[in-house]
Structure 1
């Protein structure tokens, strides 16, 4: 499995889902996948420690995918080795009354990671060119100038939103935030099986909502708008990866590899120790060792 290259899943526009599999069908045991993931996530955690000490970069992980694509469990497994202070996870739901008083990017700006830290957006600003595009009536809650009805949405509206998102991501990357975007690509059949599992397992019933079936009816629309959004926003400074996600354990491994692949481009290192400290390090040690207990 070590020959699986995350670059194979990196999106170069134009993006077509037909060109990206939902399952690699690689014969590898779950134990082997877990072992390799364990090794990679340790490397990522070590890089985060250096990044924290360096205090120049932050990392934003954007996770998108259809319902049941495995975002929550992936976050739990990939970032398992992290110091808790090093990563923050944000699950963006329906905008609150306060959030709707600002532009759609505002709540994402204020959740951006500090230098030295990771932030994971479990769903993200891309909901505003995905869910909102499938359900354009949602735009009316934003109280946008000139849009009183769905029919008022101009022809170039969505392209303008792509431009705004690209500008947002370019701005934050130029100021030290590394942006890595991951689309968990599952098949419609795999989603059906996972929804059935939520109904069949009592311990998973709470995860199911009848609205999941309503959104499933709009599968083709979501796929079309994912293609459009990813095609328009996969940039060298903020790339998209289309990760095969029918096999959850393989998806976690591929995501970890993609993150490591991006981070290894940077020369993260601890800051140099002050010359005076280095020259007197033995003096400081003796002083501490000779303290009265």
Structure 2
């Protein structure tokens, strides 16, 4: 099986998602890959127990991807060896009426893992600059001062959101949360096959 290096998947510059690969050839059988996943999952589970005992850091796994990309399957398979007391998964759907009474990052902030725990965000705070950018009318439900119509949602508005998200991530990292970000990219054809 090919050796996979994390740095091969690091995004270090602005990219167009259409240009990114949607699969990775590991040059191995499915059974070998599944066997390796079990070994790595057990190692992660053991590391989680150590981290839980030390209670100094938290880990946040941010998993983003298109519908049918496999976010739920990834969570189920990778984290099945974890002690359930040390892991909390949150699946962020459409904001609830209570969540809409707060700023858009509030629901993510209150879902952060405590020190010693792993947190998983299935869909993430990035939805607030992805989905809402495609459908800016959703911003209107947030009842933001100074945003009275879709026309008020300007490039400056989005730049401010990007800055707020970066500040949010810096704040939690500065306070002991190790953040990992994953985007599961699938082709339009594969997505169509999975939907049919």
Smaller-chain TM-score range?
A: over 0.9
Deviation at 1:6, TM superposition (A): 2.1
Alignment of 1:87-166 (within 5 A): 87-166=87-166
Alpha-carbon contact 2:2-2:28 (below 8 Å) kept:
no
Deviation at 1:65, TM superposition (A): 0.4
Aligned mates of 1:59, 1:131 — CA distance in 2: 25
Alignment of 1:48-63 (within 5 A): 48-63=48-63
Aligned mates of 1:10, 1:25 — CA distance in 2: 17
Deviation at 1:83, TM superposition (A): 0.5
Distance 1:51 1:21, change over 3 A: same
Residue 21 of structure 2 is matched in structure 1 by 21
Alpha-carbon contact 1:9-1:20 (below 8 Å) kept:
no
Deviation at 1:84, TM superposition (A): 0.7
Deviation at 1:19, TM superposition (A): 4.6
Q: What is the aligned length? A: 196
Where does structure 1 differ by over 4 angstroms across 4 or more consecutive aligned residues?
A: none
Aligned mates of 2:97, 2:23 — CA distance in 1: 40
Aligned mates of 1:142, 1:173 — CA distance in 2: 27
Alignment of 1:35-74 (within 5 A): 35-74=35-74
Residue 181 of structure 1 is matched in structure 2 by 181
The CA deviation string for residues 2-23 of structure 1, in whole angstroms up to 9 with x for no partner, is 5121210111022233553111
Aligned mates of 1:28, 1:38 — CA distance in 2: 15
* Backbone CA RMSD of aligned residues: 1.1
Structure 1 stretches of 5 or more lacking a match? 197-293
Deviation at 1:52, TM superposition (A): 0.8
Residue 31 of structure 1 is matched in structure 2 by 31
Q: Which has the higher helix share?
A: 1
The CA deviation string for residues 201-222 of structure 1, in whole angstroms up to 9 with x for no partner, is xxxxxxxxxxxxxxxxxxxxxx
Structure 2 counterpart SS, 1:4: coil
Structure 2 stretches of 5 or more lacking a match? none
Larger radius of gyration: 1
Alpha-carbon contact 2:2-2:26 (below 8 Å) kept:
no
* TM-score, normalised relative to structure 2: 0.96
Structure 1 counterpart SS, 2:97: coil
The CA deviation string for residues 126-146 of structure 1, in whole angstroms up to 9 with x for no partner, is 110001110000000000111
Aligned mates of 1:93, 1:21 — CA distance in 2: 27
Deviation at 1:42, TM superposition (A): 1.1
The CA deviation string for residues 196-246 of structure 1, in whole angstroms up to 9 with x for no partner, is 1xxxxxxxxxxxxxxxxxxxxxxxxxxxxxxxxxxxxxxxxxxxxxxxxxx
Alpha-carbon contact 2:2-2:27 (below 8 Å) kept:
no
* TM-score, normalised relative to structure 1: 0.65
The CA deviation string for residues 39-93 of structure 1, in whole angstroms up to 9 with x for no partner, is 1111111111111111100000001000000001110000010011011110111
Aligned mates of 1:140, 1:20 — CA distance in 2: 32
